[in-house]
Amino acid sequence: MTNIPSLIELTKKGAHLGHETYRRFPEMSKFISGKKNTLHIIDLTKTRQCLKEARDFLKKATKESKNILLVGTKPGANDIVKKYGEEFGLPYVNKRWLGGMITNFKTVKKLIEKFNSMRKEKKAGEWDKYTKKEQVDFEKELNKLEGLVGGIRNIKEAPKALYIIDTVDEDIALEEAKKENIPVIALINTDENPNRVDYPIPCNNDSSKTLEVITESVLKAIQK
């Protein structure tokens, strides 16, 4: 499977290490090969197969010009989401999911327009005519908007597909996607429900090394 990490590489990144056995979600059993001490071990052959299916979907989605959104707000994931979002030219959410980003995009779009307008005004030096205090207030508002919509500042419509790092942390994003029947790729650990997403990728989604190698592999499907 071209451009998909080998079993050895995934193992070196710790992708096979699941959570404690008592935390296993029943539907994850099909992705578990055994256990070591108190941890479940993820079957990386199935991880690679799921990764291929996710890549195939993204290739198709890209050809259909679907707007793909990367979502990862937890520590260890947010920097990776930003890095690959910018590298592959994809919108991303790495600070906080803004409720309604899918189900009420008209409201979110207004915030995006405000953010872009304020950036443009600052760059053009239009803030110089205001007092120092007013400029400080503008800067605070701009920074707040940056955290909310900075990663999605170039999108014109609601996303048509989601790539999610963790379904527990990004539960609201996942629920919005399900409500609008938007396909979801998600990295899932042994304590998560794989049936909630269209393209689950079983792996250790608490390991930044795992997140990086899998995210890069998935998004290279878009590049090709």
Over the stretch 142-190, which tens digit does the pLDDT of each residue have? 999 998 999 999 999 999 999 999 999 999 999 999 999 999 999 999 9
Please state whether 125 falls in left (phi above 0), alpha (psi between -120 and 50) or beta. left
Residue 224 has pLDDT above 60, yes or no: no
pLDDT of residue 206: 94
CB 159, CB 61: distance < 8 Å: no
Token pair, residue 78, equals 């947010």
pLDDT of residue 1: 60
For the 7-102+158-223 domain, the top CATH level (class) is alpha beta
Query: What's the average model confidence in pLDDT over 6-20?
Result: 95
pTM for this model (two decimals): 0.92
Model confidence at 2, pLDDT cuts 50, 70, 90, reads low
Amino acid code (one letter) for 166: D
Look up the CATH number of domain 105-152.
1.10.287
Amino acid code (one letter) for 109: K
Rounded mean pLDDT of the chain? 94
Model confidence at 222, pLDDT cuts 50, 70, 90, reads confident
Query: What's the average model confidence in pLDDT over 66-85?
Result: 94
Alpha helices in 3-131 (DSSP H): 7-12, 44-63, 78-87, 105-123
- Ordered by start, the domain boundaries in the chain are 7-102+158-223, 105-152
Query: Which runs of E-coded beta strand occur in the chain?
Result: 17-20, 32-36, 39-42, 68-71, 92-93, 161-164, 184-188, 199-202
pLDDT of residue 142: 95
Query: What's the average model confidence in pLDDT over 90-106?
Result: 93
CB 221, CB 56: distance < 8 Å: yes
